[in-house]
Amino acid sequence: MINKNVRNVAIIAHVDHGKTTLVDQMLRQCGQFRAAQLKGERILDSNDLERERGITILSKNIAITYQGTKINLIDTPGHADFGGEVERVLKMADGCLLLVDALEGPMPQTTFVLRKAFEFGLRPIVVVNKTDRVDARPADVQDEVLDLFIELGADEDALEFPTVYASATQGYAALDPAGRPGNIFALFDTILEHVPTPEVDPAAPLQMLITTLDYSDYVGRIGIGRVFAGTISAGRNVTVIHRDGTQAREKVGELYVFDGLGRRKVAQVVAGDICAVVGLNSVDIGDTIADPHDPQPLPIVRIDEPTLHMTFRVNDSPFTGRSGKFLTSGHLRERLDKELQRNVALRVEPGPTPEEFHVSGRGVLHLSVLVENMRREGYELAVGKPKVIFRQLNGKKTEPIEMCVVEVPTAHVGPVMELMGARRAICNKMETHESQSHVEFTIPTRGLIGLHNRLMTATQGTIIMHHNFYEYEFFRGGIPHRMSGVLIASEAGQVTAYALDNLADRGVMFVSPGQPVYKGQIVGEHCREGDIMVNVCRGKKMTNIRAASADKTVVLNTPREITLEIALEFIEDDELVEVTPDGLRLRKRHLLEPDRKRAARGRGPMPLSRSETAPPCRSATLPPRRAPRSPGRARNGV
């Protein structure tokens, strides 16, 4: 049986190619909403982090109705680090809209999402977006997309893909590159014509695959997925088949289907549609909801393995507990377990101590978003330097390699090639369009850590860089670490402008006057190799002698602003990023200098010495030393 009244469509593309903006136009022009219901831009990016960063982090489900047909739209992230979100939701779709920039053409993430779409058997519709740009080249981009289809081994039906030329910002779509109809009805018509209708059997035993989890304080856990066979009804007993093969008998509480931007309560859902199920306490992503009389599991969606890992540990700095509510290892473990229920690309393992956890993900941005969410929720923690996950193949070490695409002015190609070559990158392709150069590299993942800031400096902020996981290759060799050392606070207290002024020639500062610091905190980047201890709390001594510079105005350099991503790329193995609700701090793993020296020699740090907790022994056992006698004065006034 074919469900002709439903189309399930996923929107996939590289980052910044206009997916969410196109969804805005589809919502405004489908005729289902009033103008007052759709305010602002990027309507589906409702998360605070998504709006701040301007990217989609979580996949979203909505439904619109066009000419009596319900179109379930699945908006997916475009950044490579959130590829797990794309992988787990593509199973719900029958077709996809592949958006490609009319100037940039196919990019690394375009290749990744299209390969996944072919693995799930989705029928693509190519949307060449941003055709209103002056430098747009839609004909060349369509040829590049065709070459990509052939490279990925698309079948004959997929090679006959329809192409729609659109501008999401201007709100038009046409089948002709020169067309400007003023609406996107051509896109709706193409979806109805080319996206396959679900072929289902409503009379078969129930099979529903859970691909997304939601939570409500009122009804608890909510499982979202597609019904592949049979019919699911509210109040019905079902069997939940978990990923490990175990089964649990539960009862469906309520059913909701997607309607516009929200959900609508229904009594039953027929196969082919996407719905939300309430009342199943044990349901998880990848589970199958099946008929209790004939429980048959659906194939589990395979998610690519992580390539990076970081250490999450309890914050043990002197400032711990000043602003956070959740401080202990139990709080961290509970929060990470909760994240594992939704974030299918994440892995968590216990560390060498009960206070540490090894968290693995797809990239620095993937893990930093988790850390930032925890910070805003009131957690305090310390995180270490991101490290790649090596593997063994035939007794040899292999490492993750990424495809990196660079768009840079031709005048800056030289510095880019020099920096990339030092990090074991191999140039595969280079093209020049007028004054811009398009360069493609394969580079180790560890070579990308800390590279973006150096490239921005070398190209005066003109470079555009995208990268995506390519494959595992044999270890390519060593990569240079950070060349400069750091400035370490030698005393605890408040930072003074007098001290910063005297240390201005030592390097770039991370702190400003008035900020509290503790011993062992990193307060700046040294201008040379090696770490040095500095006192940023030293104040000017008061005397009764007038100084020539008494009225001098201290003008300080602006301290460097440290974001979470910059901090993670800056630190080395012996350093940590302290994350608290009131901000970030960089610190040494061992706060005391003797402990750092012992750790550098391969031995563990000494216990806290008596000198750190009590006054020096001299003041407790010896009388105070007398002041020296003036040599020009005799005794007894003689």
Which of 82, 443, 61, 111 minimizes the C-alpha distance to 259?
61
Tell me the backbone φ, ψ of residue 358, rounded to 5 degrees.
Answer: -95, 115
**Is pLDDT at 55 greater than 80 in this prediction?**
no
Model pLDDT, residue 552 = 59
CB 521 within 8 A of CB 535: no
Q: Give tens-digit pLDDT for 211-229.
A: 888 877 778 788 888 898 8
Model pLDDT, residue 380 = 92
Which of 60, 64, 72 minimizes the C-alpha distance to 32?
64
Model pLDDT, residue 312 = 93
**Is pLDDT at 185 greater than 70 in this prediction?**
yes
Tokens at 282, concatenated = 């044990």
Which of 331, 325, 375 minimizes the C-alpha distance to 582?
375
Model pLDDT, residue 40 = 60
**Is pLDDT at 573 greater than 60 in this prediction?**
yes
Model pLDDT, residue 521 = 92
Which of 185, 284, 211 minimizes the C-alpha distance to 241?
284
Residue 253 CB partners (closer than 8 Å, separation 6+): 219, 234, 235, 277, 278, 279, 280
Burial category of 573 from C-beta neighbours within 10 Å (exposed 0-12, middle 13-18, buried 19 and up):
exposed
* One-letter-per-residue 3-state SS of 330-395: HHHHHHHHHHHHHCCCCEEEECCCCCEEEEEECCHHHHHHHHHHHHHCCECEEECCCEECCEEECC
Model pLDDT, residue 540 = 81
Model pLDDT, residue 587 = 92
One-letter identity of residue 425: A
360 vs 543, more confident: 360
Q: Kindly list the structural domains of the chain, giving each domain's residue range(s) and its CATH number in brackets, ordered by start.
A: 6-194 (3.40.50.300), 207-290 (2.40.30.10), 392-474 (3.30.70.240)
Q: Where are the beta strands (DSSP E) in 154-267?
A: 163-167, 172-174, 207-216, 220-229, 231-233, 237-241, 247-251, 254-259, 262-266
Q: Give tens-digit pLDDT for 586-602.
A: 999 998 888 888 888 87
84 vs 583, more confident: 583
pTM of full prediction above 0.85: no
Query: What is the average per-residue pLDDT within 471-493?
Result: 88
Calculate helix-pair angle for 138-151, 108-119, nearest 10 degrees: 50
**Is pLDDT at 628 greater than 60 in this prediction?**
no
Tokens at 107, concatenated = 């990019």
